Copies of this chain bind each other. A is one copy, B any other.
Amino acid sequence: MYRKELKVLDCTIRDGGLMNKWQFSKEFVKDVYTACVDAGIDYMEIGYISSEDQFSRDEFGAWKFCSEKDVREIVGENKTNTKISVLADIGRIKYTDIRPKKESVIDMFRVACYEYQIDKAIELAHHVMDKGYEATINLMAVSTVTDRRLDEVLVDVSKSRVKVFYLVDSFGSMYSEDIQHLMKKYQEALPGVTIGFHGHNNLQLAFANTIECIIQGANMLDATLLGMGRGAGNCTTELLVSFLKNPKYKLRPLLWAIEKHVRPLQKQIDWGYFMPYLIAGASNDHPKSALKWMDSDRKEEYVAFYDQMRESRQELE
């Protein structure tokens, strides 16, 4: 697939950091940055941007905060073709902490929100755009939003100045028919807006769903090295780059970073295709129960987890 509008965003540090509280060595982050630059990746998402009074640096690594100083230690003035992105959660960043773009090497803010936060998300996106940044809104957990409510959200977005809006499969529960349905809805409601996709791999469909989104017209694609990300992880950057035919993308630098850093880390941290994540994804559930199970000494007890999840569903009935 070659389409010049297609952009790849590597969020290894940001989404992967959910599995190690962003406790990456400086060399790890620096090498992922170098790999992204050399591989022709369009955006590298280097972490969450959060106010320092919200979280402790004793618990979380630098990439939970993305201070200008820390980011510059990795990217310098970033005289490259790879832009730097950060993710902001609603309510975890103070507007006054955001400096004007001309004082920052960060290029893009992505605003993650649930459907009930869409007004706050648009406000924050407008705020960072007014300060000179690119902005996206990433609507999470859309697999639990009714179509009627989603239509309202899309109307709000269509009235905003936001030019990139993300389809996010937070629970890794979507099949190709879900992708087709939502891509159609997003594009019809948001003409002229670039649609992005961020998938999770609970059903081993993150890459396949990314391809389906490309076919349906999405032009911003999230991925991580070896799929490093919360729970089952994400579409892998190396698969996406192997698939895309734009000659600017190179696989070899990504393999270098995977070999040097990401694969060794994968031997210590269980992200990827594990039965509790499959069970959560197939049930369209938030991964939190599965993450807790995988963090316990019962992580290999798949039947017990299945029974527990089934019981908690029956309690709802």
Q: CB of A256 within 8 A of chain B? A: yes
B175–A255 contact, CB under 8 A?
Answer: no
Which of B204, B255, B256, B307 contacts A207 (CB under 8 A)?
B204
20 contacting pairs across A/B (C-beta < 8 A): A176-B212, A176-B215, A201-B204, A203-B243, A204-B208, A205-B208, A207-B208, A208-B208, A238-B278, A239-B282, A242-B282, A251-B306, A252-B303, A252-B306, A255-B306, A256-B302, A256-B303, A258-B275, A263-B275, A263-B300
B175/A300 in contact, CB under 8 A: no
Q: What residues of B have a CB within 8 angstroms of the CB of A243 in the complex? A: 175, 203, 282
Total contacting residues, chain A, CB less than 8 A? 36
A204, B203: Cβ atoms closer than 8 Å? no
Known: A203-B242, A273-B273. 4 other contacts (CB 8 A): A242-B282, A251-B306, A256-B302, A259-B275
Whether, in the assembled complex, A236 has its beta carbon less than 8 Å from a beta carbon of chain B, the answer is: yes
Q: How far is the CA of A261 from the CA of B302 in the complex (A)?
A: 12
For the complex, give the distance between the alpha carbons of A204 and B206 in Å.
9
- Least CB distance from A205 to B in Å reads 6
List the B side residues contacting A205 at CB < 8 Å. Answer: 207-208
Chain B contacts for A307, CB-based, 8 A: 252
Identify the A interface with B (CB < 8 A). Answer: 175-176, 201, 203-209, 211-212, 215, 236, 238-239, 242-243, 251-252, 255-256, 258-259, 263, 273, 275, 278-279, 282, 300-303, 306-307
A167 to B297, CA, bound (A): 42
Q: Known: A176-B208, A204-B204, A238-B275. Is A255-B303 also a contact (CB below 8 A)?
A: yes
Given known pairs A211-B175, A243-B175, the reply for A255 and B204 (CB within 8 Å) is no
A302 and B257 CA atoms in complex are apart in Å by: 10
Given contact pairs A175-B211, A275-B255, A282-B242, A236 touches B303 in the complex (Cβ within 8 A): no
B175 touches A302 (CB 8 A): no
Residues in B with CB closer than 8 Å to A278 are 238-239, 242
Expressed in whole angstroms, the minimum distance between the Cβ of A134 and any Cβ of chain B is 30
Chain B residues with CB under 8 A of A239: 203-204, 278, 282
CB distance from A104 to the nearest CB of B (A): 34
Alpha-carbon gap, A175 to B208, bound state (A): 9
Q: Please give, as numbers and ranges, the residues of chain B lying within 8 Å of A282 by CB-CB distance.
A: 239, 242-243, 251
